Amino acid sequence: MLDQVAMTYQVRSSDARSGGGRFSRRGGLSGVRRTEVQALTPTSLVVERGESVGVIGTNGSGKSTLMKLITGQMRPTSGEVYATSTPIMLGVNAALVRQVSGEDNIRLGCLAMGMSPREADAKRDTIAHLSGLDNQQLQLPLKAYSAGMASRLQFAIAASVDPDILVIDEALNTGDAQFRSRTQRRIDELRAHAGCVLLVSHSLDTIRQMCSRVLWLERGVLSFDGSPDEVTQTYSRYTKLRAAGEDEEADHLLQDARTSVPRARIRWVTGPAAGVDERPRSAAAPRHALPDPERRAGG
């Protein structure tokens, strides 16, 4: 769950008007401007167990920032992130080593995620099947793999531990129809076992096929939260208007979408024994934002 989470970056750039980039006598750089970039505006969000949530948006809209905040790679500028377990992010928890074979990467990845050597060996065949790599390919060093082969192996390793929360950032855009079918089945299995999946992708077909709910982030703002068909259709109209240069109409569509996102107040209650501590948090939050801390589940 995200409670009023926001992220602002400090960006430094040289100021040509003051001969920027020169070291001053007092130390440090003179003529350097600091600019604040708000990558994510205050956002409240609850992801339930069993959900598969897609995240879409144009480049620079804050999707990867949101995933890094959820997985704990970055601390938010303000707000808090709560989770029932440590999220596993594809490509981070299952980092691959280019100099060793795919076979060895499976073992190393499983060990890095906390499995015992015996558990890693038991998962080997399942991981190989999900990745679609045969025994000959698994003996090759990873540097000989294509980007698609490496992505499939990363996903297979990350999904092998039955994570309660799995975050996938742009990893499923490569791969054939058979891999997408196996991935869909694996995501369905994760959801059936009370886990949840967050998937970032520019492929709207992938989002529609694999997700039960979709979030649209645009310019750092949660702009839509709803069913895959509803959100992707609206987003597709928006991008087509932008591509056609009809910016004014696109802005109107974006504003209409944002007004449909319900406003929520999240209340935290410690209980009568310790005194009631109610702190209402008003934010642009999706319809899944809940007032009851007992229902804090998923992300």
Answer whether 284's CB lies under 8 Å from 219's CB: no
The pLDDT assigned to 278 comes to 35
Q: Which domains does the chain have, with CATH numbers?
A: 2-87+163-295 (3.40.50.300)
Task: Tell me how far apart the alpha carbons of residues 125 and 200 are, in angstroms, rounded to a whole number.
Answer: 27
What is the pLDDT, as a whole number, of residue 31? 61
Q: Which residues contact 87 (CB under 8 A, 6 or more apart)?
A: 70, 71, 72, 163, 165, 166, 167, 198, 299
What does the pLDDT read at residue 174? 54
Q: Which runs of E-coded beta strand occur in 101-193?
A: 165-169
C-alpha to C-alpha distance for 169 and 189, rounded to whole angstroms: 19
What was the pLDDT predicted at 26? 55
Kind and range of the H or E element at 78? strand 78-81
Q: Where are the alpha helices (DSSP H) in 14-59?
A: none
Q: Which residues of the chain have pLDDT under 70?
A: 13-32, 90-95, 170-177, 194, 263-299
189 alpha-carbon distance from chain centroid: 19
> What's the pLDDT tens digit per position in 119-167?
999 999 999 998 899 999 999 999 999 888 888 888 888 888 777 888 8
Give me 20's structure tokens. 């920027």
Please check whether residue 87 is in contact with residue 166, taking contact to mean a CB–CB distance below 8 angstroms: yes
